């Protein structure tokens, strides 16, 4: 197959030779064009540089140099084209030589095809056929060995064909090495032929013996009797048949057949039948012996035929033939390649001569136009200056830069309005660098000059001057560029550089490896390092080691990802001082996105961080005690609630309020109060566990938060009680207030308040509330603790109380009652009942107005339940105004009747109502609006109202007394009884409290107190009235001791107005019926 392909390739060379030669002309054309490119390359490369490569403003000089070199190269172009004519003679001779060589190679190809290649193909064909016949021969031998064919005709036919092919192979004119292999094959083939003949003879003998053995055995077996020992004999003979057949097929089955026949013979003799069958057994034994000896010999013969070296010889011949064919193919291919190259070179030479001749004429004609086109296409301005300083040529870029119309620059002198001073003034002719003609310098590199545009604007230009000959007698070529924008950029860059250098922020620039390349002055002054000390170093030299490693990991991860990193770093100055910097690090990229540097802008925020910490401290800590403030403790309580939910353990909130702190603060001053609060904070921290939190809620209130005090509620309550006990014990310790106070308990160290070491003992009231889980909020816990704390205060102070739901219910009930009272005021549910006051003769001299509340459901509410709520909520003010207004209206109604005109009404006034700024004014307005006699209106005050600013109370009383209003002192003797205020206050009446009257008969002390009060009133000329008179004995005792007015259930219960007239008609007379008694009572 390989030789057939080689034959086809060779034919293709002959058939397509002419088209190949013609196509080579195009290849020669390309070679000539490439040769011309080589000749033009100095010009065209300069053209590419100028036309396609963009230079920055900072490389304007290089652009000018390129343009000048371009023009200089064009000046020598003419000489370069003349070289082409000398190349034609060399190429013609070379083409003739190459043509001769090509014909020789073609003849060699034809001779090779006619001789050796044909022989190699025939030999390859014969060896392939021989290999096939060898395989068929060995296959037929095996078939004959195992009896698959009845004769040896097929084997003989294969042997004859192999002999014929071997003779044909030997007759071919083969190469020496192939011929030697063919001879060896012939020798091996002859030996193989002899072995085949011997195999056929032996195989026929064995097959004949086997057939005879089977025939005789089939004849013998039926003659044996089928009883006794003959059955055993039949069985043994059957095994012998099997052994012989197996021997005929498998050489390896070597069985003791003589022993089997001898055993059969012994059995036959025992049956007395041996004389008749002895000859048959001897014949069978001989045939079995022949088969036993013939079968191994056949196997040996078959192996010898299969292992003959004929196939290896044929394979070696084919390998050698293939090697010869490949060698000839390589030679042929090389010769064809050389031929093609020579043809291409020859055609190229001819084409080169023709094209060079034509293009030489064309380039010479177009030289001037071509050079002018180059100057027009570049962005630089090009001027050609004649020796007389006149512009002989200007390209389009020069006209555009200078603002002239096409052609307007021609014949203009350079010093006449083009080349000027920086201020725009004209140059003298001898000052112009372009003046002087041939005496001008040959070149001026990078001249910074000024040109004036046509519109009068002066622009800076970068100029290169080149001497040039050959263009209309011109002398100088001027290449220039407008650098106005570049100057602006340089100025901007200068400003930026100054801004960076003078920036108050530290600026550091490093390369990609982290080596410092620039630091500004702010960095030098801030860090203490000089530029020389840090240039080329890594920024780690000022690390303090206190910046978290995570910050650096985040920084490099961001920078390597191409991002900008912002963060805080803790660094160290050269003198060892540490500072905190807010740093912004960003990568610096080239136009292609490649990172080349990193720039870091750093700001010292040490003071800012300190201010932030201070703000944080002020936001979450008490400035006086340093304890957490309300905001932080609420957050801590909320966190503790969540923690208790997870752990299942209780916590406790303890609210502490210092008893009598206001008294200390008011009497000793705020400075002393602040010192007391500071020492309380210290003692509280010392009294609780380290993990417990102590906070100041505000004023004199403190919070203690204790967590994990037990999983059982009883256990937690016991632990919380111990915490409260320790706090109370710490608070009971005396406070030192006076340096002269020597009473300092050794076990109770005092509070050291000031430099005078004054001492003061103080206590606290504690409210405790337990929590577990998130069922409540921090604010709710504080409210609960506050309720418990006020419970402790209400029960005597210096104690601790736990919050329980009853407190909350009481508060909720109180709020509900307060809201109901507001609605009652709006809906008019309040009423006034009047309890009569009688004189000694039993006449009615007046009544006390008592407030009653009958709600919308008709249920009367006790004043003991709603009056305290009204006092605390402030509702007592509108309620008191309503009582006063209603009482005055009733008083006016009584004045209209002669029966009740002399009665007075006593109205109870609360302390809060009395101290109101507009109380006096309101009383005046109510009295005036109803037009009642002020002396019939009596205001009852309690002793608690008189404690405090006595002067203010007395002034108000006197102001009202001045218009005729009278005052009665209620519950005298139960409060802060003092003779001083009895003397100073304009009192008209004293009421003996019912607590003294109740046991006046049984308790001598109460009797003595009542006598004293009556005697005191008589001595001060103050009317006295006893309340709570319920028995005749009480009334008799009071009469005997000088009391002249009475009030109580014995004389009359409080009653509404609807019952008042009936009461008067039952026998009680008004003051008008007995005016002498009324006046005396007054």
pLDDT higher than threshold 70 for residue 59 = no
Q: By mean pLDDT, which of 147-151, 713-717, 853-857 is the weakest?
A: 147-151
Rounded Cα distance between 288 and 258, Å, is: 9
Strand order across the beta sheet in which 381-385 lies:
391-394, 381-385, 476-482, 458-467, 444-452, 419-420
8 A C-beta contact, residue 247 and residue 214: no
Any residues with CB less than 8 A from the CB of 395 and at least 6 apart, and which? 375, 376, 378, 381, 382, 383
Top-ranked range on mean pLDDT: pick from 408-422, 457-471, 664-678, 1044-1058? 1044-1058
Q: By mean pLDDT, which of 654-668, 872-886, 951-965 is the weakest?
A: 654-668
Rounded Cα distance between 859 and 103, Å, is: 145
What pLDDT is recorded for position 52?
36
pLDDT higher than threshold 60 for residue 24 = no
- Mean pLDDT in residue range 11-21: 37
- Mean pLDDT in residue range 126-137: 73
What pLDDT is recorded for position 93?
62
- If one compares 736 and 689, the residue with the highest pLDDT of the two is 689
- If one compares 943 and 485, the residue with the highest pLDDT of the two is 485
What pLDDT is recorded for position 883?
95
- Residue whose C-alpha is closest to residue 699's, from 658, 753, 731, 751: 658
Q: In this structure, what token pair is assigned to residue 341?
A: 């190259």
Average per-residue pLDDT for the chain: 76
Q: What is the secondary structure of 573-640 as a DSSP string?
A: -TTS-EEEEEEEEEEEE-TTS-EEEEEEEEEE-HHHHHHHHHHHHHHHB-TTT-SB-HHHHHHHHHHH
Q: In this structure, what token pair is assigned to residue 128?
A: 């392939």
- Mean pLDDT in residue range 466-480: 68
Q: In this structure, what token pair is assigned to residue 796?
A: 């005597």
Residue 437's pLDDT band, with cuts at 50, 70 and 90, is very low
What pLDDT is recorded for position 666?
79
Residue 2's pLDDT band, with cuts at 50, 70 and 90, is very low
What pLDDT is recorded for position 70?
53
Nearest-10 crossing angle of helices 876-895, 919-930:
30
- Residue whose C-alpha is closest to residue 324's, from 185, 106, 175: 175
Q: Which regions of 303-443 does DSSP assign to beta strands (E)?
A: 381-385, 391-394, 419-420
pLDDT higher than threshold 90 for residue 281 = no
Rounded Cα distance between 130 and 315, Å, is: 10
- Residue whose C-alpha is closest to residue 968's, from 796, 848, 839: 848
Q: What are the backbone dihedrals phi and psi of residue 147, each rounded to the nearest 5 degrees, phi first?
A: 75, 20
Cβ neighbours, 10 Å, residue 802: 20
Over pLDDT 70: what percentage of the chain? Answer: 70
- If one compares 300 and 406, the residue with the highest pLDDT of the two is 406
Residue 722's pLDDT band, with cuts at 50, 70 and 90, is confident
55 DSSP 8-state letter? P
pLDDT higher than threshold 60 for residue 156 = yes
Q: In this structure, what token pair is assigned to residue 1045?
A: 């007015």
- Residue whose C-alpha is closest to residue 657's, from 805, 760, 788, 749: 788
What pLDDT is recorded for position 651?
93
Domains belonging to the chain, first-starting first, are 2-127 (no CATH), 133-318 (no CATH), 379-488 (3.30.450.20), 503-611 (3.30.450.20), 621-803 (3.30.70.270), 837-987+1052-1081 (3.20.20.450)
8 A C-beta contact, residue 583 and residue 602: yes
pLDDT higher than threshold 60 for residue 387 = yes
pLDDT higher than threshold 70 for residue 179 = yes
What pLDDT is recorded for position 564?
92
Q: In this structure, what token pair is assigned to residue 722?
A: 């111990």
Over pLDDT 90: what percentage of the chain? Answer: 20
Q: What is the secondary structure of 820-850 as a DSSP string?
A: HHHHHHHHT-EEEEEEEEEETTS-EEEEEEE
Q: What is the secondary structure of 721-744 as a DSSP string?
A: HHHHHHHHHHHTSEEEE-TT----
8 A C-beta contact, residue 508 and residue 523: yes
Q: In this structure, what token pair is assigned to residue 57?
A: 């403003």
What pLDDT is recorded for position 53?
35
Rounded Cα distance between 785 and 962, Å, is: 49
- Phi/psi-derived region of residue 84, left when phi > 0, alpha when psi is between -120 and 50, beta in every other case: alpha
543 DSSP 8-state letter? B
Rounded Cα distance between 128 and 314, Å, is: 8
8 A C-beta contact, residue 939 and residue 965: yes
- If one compares 73 and 187, the residue with the highest pLDDT of the two is 187
- If one compares 740 and 257, the residue with the highest pLDDT of the two is 257
Rounded Cα distance between 200 and 237, Å, is: 31
- Mean pLDDT in residue range 843-852: 94
Q: What's the start-to-end Cα distance of the chain, in Å?
A: 159
What pLDDT is recorded for position 341?
78
Q: Which regions of 272-356 does DSSP assign to beta strands (E)?
A: none
Q: In this structure, what token pair is assigned to residue 1052?
A: 């009359």
What pLDDT is recorded for position 16?
35
- Mean pLDDT in residue range 32-60: 38
What pLDDT is recorded for position 165?
73
Cβ neighbours, 10 Å, residue 889: 14
pLDDT tens, 764-794? 999 999 998 867 889 989 999 999 998 888 8
Rounded Cα distance between 175 and 120, Å, is: 9
pLDDT higher than threshold 60 for residue 565 = yes
Q: In this structure, what token pair is assigned to residue 936?
A: 């019939």
pLDDT higher than threshold 50 for residue 1 = no
Rounded Cα distance between 390 and 429, Å, is: 12
- If one compares 58 and 1017, the residue with the highest pLDDT of the two is 1017
- If one compares 746 and 127, the residue with the highest pLDDT of the two is 127
CA–CA distance from 475 to each of 471, 562, 597 (Å)?
8, 56, 49
422 DSSP 8-state letter? T
Q: In this structure, what token pair is assigned to residue 815?
A: 């709020």
Rounded Cα distance between 273 and 341, Å, is: 103
Please name every residue paired with 942 in a beta bridge, in sequence order, or none if there are none. 970
For strands 830-839 and 1045-1047, give the pairing. Answer: antiparallel
Rounded Cα distance between 687 and 676, Å, is: 16
- If one compares 733 and 929, the residue with the highest pLDDT of the two is 929
Rounded Cα distance between 288 and 108, Å, is: 72
What pLDDT is recorded for position 240?
63
What pLDDT is recorded for position 799?
87
- Phi/psi-derived region of residue 15, left when phi > 0, alpha when psi is between -120 and 50, beta in every other case: alpha
8 A C-beta contact, residue 759 and residue 777: no
CA–CA distance from 1010 to each of 975, 995, 1002, 1038 (Å)?
15, 10, 13, 8
Q: By mean pLDDT, which of 254-258, 382-386, 559-563 is the weakest?
A: 254-258
8 A C-beta contact, residue 813 and residue 741: no
What pLDDT is recorded for position 407?
84
Q: Count Cα atoms within 13 angstroms, Cβ side, for 400.
A: 12
pLDDT higher than threshold 80 for residue 171 = no
pLDDT tens, 950-1004? 888 889 999 999 999 999 998 777 765 567 677 788 999 999 999 899 989 899 9
For strands 419-420 and 860-861, give the pairing. Answer: unpaired
8 A C-beta contact, residue 684 and residue 676: no
pLDDT higher than threshold 60 for residue 48 = no
pLDDT higher than threshold 50 for residue 473 = yes
Coil, helix or strand at residue 545: coil
Please name every residue paired with 569 in a beta bridge, in sequence order, or none if there are none. 581
- Residue whose C-alpha is closest to residue 937's, from 905, 961, 967: 905
8 A C-beta contact, residue 569 and residue 583: yes
Any residues with CB less than 8 A from the CB of 242 and at least 6 apart, and which? none
Sign of CA dihedral 432, 434, 435, 438: positive
CA–CA distance from 340 to each of 90, 493, 892 (Å)?
20, 64, 148
Q: What are the backbone dihedrals phi and psi of residue 444, each rounded to the nearest 5 degrees, phi first?
A: -125, 110
Any residues with CB less than 8 A from the CB of 378 and at least 6 apart, and which? 50, 51, 67, 395, 397
pLDDT higher than threshold 70 for residue 255 = no
- Mean pLDDT in residue range 402-420: 84
Coil, helix or strand at residue 945: helix
pTM, two decimals, is: 0.41
pLDDT tens, 612-647? 777 777 777 888 888 999 989 999 999 999 999 889
8 A C-beta contact, residue 458 and residue 452: yes
pLDDT higher than threshold 60 for residue 399 = yes
Which helix (H) or strand (E) segment holds residue 766: the answer is: strand 764-771
């Amino acid at each position: 197959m390989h030789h057939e392909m080689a034959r086809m390739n060779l034919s293709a060379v002959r058939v397509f030779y002419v088209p190949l030669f013609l196509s080579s002309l195009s290849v020669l054309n390309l070679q000539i064009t490439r040769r011309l490119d080589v000749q033009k390359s100095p010009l065209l490369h300069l053209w590419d540089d100028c036309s396609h490569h963009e230079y920055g403003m900072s490389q304007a000089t290089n652009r000018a140099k390129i343009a000048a070199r371009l023009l200089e190269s064009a000046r020598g172009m003419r000489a370069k084209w003349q070289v082409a004519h000398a190349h034609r003679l060399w190429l013609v001779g070379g083409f003739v030589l190459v043509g001769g060589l090509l014909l020789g190679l073609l003849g060699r190809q034809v001779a090779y095809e006619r001789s050796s290649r044909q022989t190699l193909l025939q030999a390859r064909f014969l060896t392939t056929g021989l290999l096939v016949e060898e395989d068929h021969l060995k296959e037929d031998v095996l078939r004959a060995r195992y009896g698959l064919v009845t004769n040896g005709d097929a084997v003989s036919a294969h042997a004859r064909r192999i002999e014929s092919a071997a003779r044909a192979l030997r007759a071919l004119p083969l190469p020496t090495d192939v011929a030697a292999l063919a001879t060896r094959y012939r020798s091996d083939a002859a030996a193989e032929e002899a072995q085949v003949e011997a195999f056929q003879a032996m195989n026929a003998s064995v097959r004949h013996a086997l057939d005879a053995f089977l025939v005789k055995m089939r004849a013998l077996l039926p003659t044996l009797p089928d009883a006794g020992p003959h059955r055993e004999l039949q069985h043994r003979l059957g095994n012998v048949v099997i052994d012989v057949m197996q021997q005929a097929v498998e050489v390896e089955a070597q069985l003791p057949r003589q022993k089997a026949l001898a055993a059969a013979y012994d059995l036959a003799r025992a049956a007395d039948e041996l004389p008749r069958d002895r000859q048959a057994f001897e014949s069978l034994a001989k045939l079995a012996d022949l088969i036993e000896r013939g079968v191994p010999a056949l196997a040996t013969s078959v192996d010898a035929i299969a292992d003959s070296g004929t196939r290896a010889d044929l394979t070696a011949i084919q390998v050698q033939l293939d090697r010869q064919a490949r060698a000839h193919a390589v030679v042929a291919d090389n010769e064809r390649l050389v031929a093609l190259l020579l043809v291409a070179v020859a055609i190229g030479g001819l084409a080169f001569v023709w094209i060079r001749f034509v293009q030489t004429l064309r380039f010479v004609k177009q030289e001037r136009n071509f050079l002018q086109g180059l100057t027009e296409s570049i962005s630089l301005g090009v001027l050609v200056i004649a020796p007389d300083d006149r512009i002989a040529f200007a390209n389009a870029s020069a006209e555009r830069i200078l603002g002239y119309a096409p052609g307007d620059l021609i014949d203009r002198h350079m010093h006449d309005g083009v080349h000027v001073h920086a201020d725009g003034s004209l140059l003298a002719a001898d000052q112009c660098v372009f003046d002087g003609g041939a005496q001008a310098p040959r070149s001026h590199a990078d001249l910074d000059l000024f040109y004036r545009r046509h519109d009068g604007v002066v622009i800076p230009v970068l100029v290169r001057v080149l001497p040039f000959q050959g263009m209309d007698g011109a002398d100088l070529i001027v290449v220039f560029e407008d650098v106005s924008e570049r100057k602006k950029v340089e100025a901007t860059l200068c400003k930026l550089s100054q801004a960076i250098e003078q920036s108050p922020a530290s600026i550091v620039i490093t390369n990609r490896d982290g080596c410092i390349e620039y630091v500004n002055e702010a960095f030098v002054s801030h860090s203490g390092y000089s530029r020389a000390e840090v240039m080329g170093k890594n920024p780690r030299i000022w690390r303090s080691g206190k910046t978290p490693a995570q910050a650096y990991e985040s920084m490099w991860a961001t920078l390597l990802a191409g991002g900008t990193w912002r963060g805080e770093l803790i660094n160290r100055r050269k003198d060892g001082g540490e500072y905190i910097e807010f740093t912004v690090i960003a990568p610096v990229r080239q136009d292609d996105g490649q990172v080349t540097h990193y720039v870091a802008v750093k700001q010292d925020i040490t003071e800012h961080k300190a201010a932030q910490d201070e703000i944080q401290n002020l936001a979450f800590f008490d400035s006086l005690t340093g304890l957490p403030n309300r905001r932080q403790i609420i957050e801590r309580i909320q966190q503790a609630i969540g923690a208790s939910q997870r752990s299942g353990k209780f916590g406790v909130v303890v609210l502490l309020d210092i008893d009598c702190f206001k008294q200390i603060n008011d009497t000793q001053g705020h400075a002393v109060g602040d010192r007391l609060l500071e020492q309380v904070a210290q003692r509280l921290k010392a009294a609780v566990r380290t993990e417990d939190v102590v906070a100041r809620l505000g004023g004199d209130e403190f919070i203690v938060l204790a967590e994990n005090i037990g999983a059982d509620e009883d256990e937690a309550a016991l632990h919380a009680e111990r915490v409260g006990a320790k706090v109370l014990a710490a608070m009971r310790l005396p406070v030192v207030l006076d340096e002269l106070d020597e009473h300092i308990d050794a076990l109770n160290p005092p509070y050291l308040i000031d430099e005078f070491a004054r001492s003061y003992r103080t206590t606290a009231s504690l409210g405790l509330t337990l929590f577990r889980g998130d069922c409540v909020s921090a604010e709710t816990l504080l409210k609960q603790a506050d309720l418990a704390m006020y419970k402790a205060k209400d029960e005597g102070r210096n104690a601790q109380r736990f919050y329980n739901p009853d407190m909350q219910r009481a508060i909720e009930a109180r709020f509900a009652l307060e809201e109901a009272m507001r609605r009652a005021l709006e809906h008019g549910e309040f009423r006034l009942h009047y309890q009569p006051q009688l004189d000694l003769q039993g006449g009615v001299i007046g009544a006390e107005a008592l407030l009653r509340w009958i709600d919308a459901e008709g249920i009367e509410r006790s004043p003991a339940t709603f009056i305290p709520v009204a006092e605390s909520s402030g509702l007592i003010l509108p309620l008191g105004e309503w009582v006063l207004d209603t009482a005055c209206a009733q008083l006016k109604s009584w004045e209209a009747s002669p029966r009740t005109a002399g009665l007075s009404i006593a109205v109870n006034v609360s302390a809060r109502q009395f101290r109101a700024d507009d109380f006096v004014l309101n009383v005046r307005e109510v009295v005036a609006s109803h037009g009642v006699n002020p002396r019939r209106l009596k205001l009852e005050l309690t002793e608690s109202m008189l404690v405090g600013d006595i002067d203010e109370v007395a002034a108000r009383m006197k102001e009202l007394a001045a218009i005729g209003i009278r005052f009665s002192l209620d519950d005298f003797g139960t409060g802060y009884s003092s003779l001083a205020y009895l003397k100073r206050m304009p009192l008209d009446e004293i009421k003996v409290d019912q607590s003294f009257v109740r046991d006046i008969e049984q308790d001598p002390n109460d009797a003595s107190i009542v006598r004293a009060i009556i005697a005191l009133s008589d001595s001060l000329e103050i009317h006295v009235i006893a309340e709570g008179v319920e028995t005749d004995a009480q009334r008799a005792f009071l009469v005997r001791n000088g009391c002249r007015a009475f009030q109580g259930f014995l004389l009359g219960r409080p009653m509404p107005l609807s019952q008042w007239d009936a009461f008067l008609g039952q026998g009680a007379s008004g003051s008008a019926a007995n005016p002498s008694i009324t006046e005396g009572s007054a």
